[in-house]
Amino acid sequence: MKKHIAILGSTGSIGTQALEVIEAHPNEFVAEVLTANNNVDLLIEQCLKFLPKAAVITNPNHYQKLKDALANTPTEALAGEEALSEVVQLPSVHIALTALVGYSGLKPTIHAIKAKKHIALANKETLVVAGELVTQLAKKHGVNIYPVDSEHSAIFQCLIGEEDNPIEKIILTASGGPFRGRKVADLREVTKAQALKHPNWTMGAKITIDSASLMNKGLEVIEAKWLFGLEADQVEVIVHPQSIIHSMVQFEDGSIKAQMGLPDMKLPIQFALSYPQRLKSDFERFNFANYPNLTFEQPDLETFRNLGLAFEALHQAGNMPCILNAANEVVVDRFLRDQVRFLEMSDIIAGCMAKVPFITTPSYEDFVQTDTETRKMAEALCDR
């Protein structure tokens, strides 16, 4: 039976690559729902090609254009954030691929879980903000969460067949981003254009800036804790500039398993959608002769403070990761608009973590309030 996929964020980097996977395997997958925030032209193009059951444009200002373009198709046009939570509950949807950017992925993911839809998770912020709540809901409703991030997919693949063998630790690899090896003094005048030049991966603007500051790796650390049921001290980060080993698992006997491959997001996307099958692909193959040296180094937490702040948030738990994430989303947006400097982002995040009220055991409503309050404080700190 074909798997019907709801792609939340179909016009972004992950979403467009997911559609390439679906197109390459028409006997395996159907694009059942497609959604976008503002890119209505690309959403229309995708809908006319894949003819999903429903399409959502989050920004209602673009609704009429979407509706008119799809008038003579079987695709229902919808608009608004609430529609995201509605379409993931459609009876025809089997898997919800959450590829939205940031905090916006949390609510529709929760609705999808409650509707017993399996989750292909590309929106790491969902588990960063509310990892305990989301994983408990998934367990309650019998829902599997399949990781799409290359690092977490690597861990997931390494753990297949190891269900009875305790993990000693996992090792997340990081490319180091465009500023690997630089010191604080070198980063004072970093420009947006420089930060957006990632050496190995092609991604959206927000995640590319997060990778440059190592916040992306910090968010992945928190996500890994919840995905794999780990303690904070069981997650380690190592810088691996070639991005060939995507992450590793060390077991209690000391042995380490690693998943390797060229940096191509279509592979983890395809595996998340096809699991437990491995579908044949025409992806470029890795050749050891082309990579005679694979190197590793410790991350520089003094220069790249965001990774240290993420570990701090992970250890404090409660709503602290929610504070970290909300503040980061604000400062990255301000950096992309040339309104804060690269190094100032860490200062503002740390300020929010120190000032926003800490809640030990937050509810969903607490997360919503924390997110709102943190964003207001971060905006104020940016304007100082």
Query: Are 28 and 57 members of one domain?
Result: yes
Residue ranges of E strands in the chain = 3-8, 29-36, 54-57, 76-79, 95-98, 118-121, 145-147, 167-174, 235-239, 245-251, 256-260
pLDDT of residue 71: 97
pLDDT of residue 68: 98
Q: Both 22 and 167 in a single domain?
A: no
Q: Is the pLDDT reported for residue 202 higher than 80?
A: no
Residues 194 and 306 in one domain: yes
Amino acid 336: pLDDT:
95
Domain count, the chain: 3
Query: Both 88 and 37 in a single domain?
Result: yes
Position 114, amino acid = K
Q: Average pLDDT for residues 144-171, to the nearest whole number? A: 96
Q: Which of 258, 281, 316 is the last residue of a domain?
A: 316
Q: What pLDDT shows up at residue 255?
A: 97
Other beta carbons within 10 Å of 143: 19
Task: Say whether both 186 and 261 belong to one domain.
Answer: yes
Residues 300 and 206 in one domain: yes
pLDDT at residue 384, rounded to an integer: 86
pLDDT on residue 341: 95
* CATH number of the structural domain spanning residue 70: 3.40.50.720
Q: Are residues 324 and 338 in the same domain?
A: yes
Mean pLDDT of 282-286: 93
Contact 268, 149 (CB under 8 A): yes
Mean pLDDT rounded to a whole number for the chain: 95
- Looking at the fold, whether 344 and 301 belong to one and the same domain comes out as no
**Residue range 88-112: average pLDDT?**
94
Q: Which of 316, 337, 356 is the last residue of a domain?
A: 316
- At 103 the pLDDT is 85
Distance CA 31, CA 19 (A): 7
Q: Are residues 323 and 305 in the same domain?
A: no
Q: Write down the pLDDT at residue 63.
A: 98
61-93 pLDDT, tens per residue? Answer: 999 999 999 999 999 999 999 999 999 999 999
State whether 171 and 261 are in the same domain.
yes
> Are 28 and 170 part of one and the same domain?
no
Among the candidates 297, 316, 335, a domain finishes at 316
Buried b (16+ CB within 10 A) or exposed e, 54-80: bbbbbeeebbeebbebbeeeebbbbbe
What confidence score (pLDDT) does residue 201 get? 67
Whether the predicted pLDDT of 252 surpasses 70? yes
The proportion of the chain whose per-residue pLDDT surpasses 70, expressed as a percent, equals 99
- Residue 258 pairs in a beta bridge with 248
Q: Say if residue 289 is in the same domain as residue 168.
A: yes
Give the domain CATH number at 372: 1.10.1740.10
Q: What is the average per-residue pLDDT within 153-173? A: 97
Evaluate if residue 26 carries a pLDDT over 70: yes
What is the band of 197 on the pLDDT scale with cuts at 50, 70, 90? Answer: confident
Separation CA 301–CA 221 (nearest Å):
14
Average pLDDT over residues 147-151: 95
Mean pLDDT score, 279-300: 95
- Tell me the residue range of the domain where 93 lies: 3-147
Q: Which of 329, 273, 363, 367 is nearest to 5 (CA)?
A: 273
| C-beta separation of 195 from 342 below 8 A | yes
Provide the whole-model pTM.
0.93
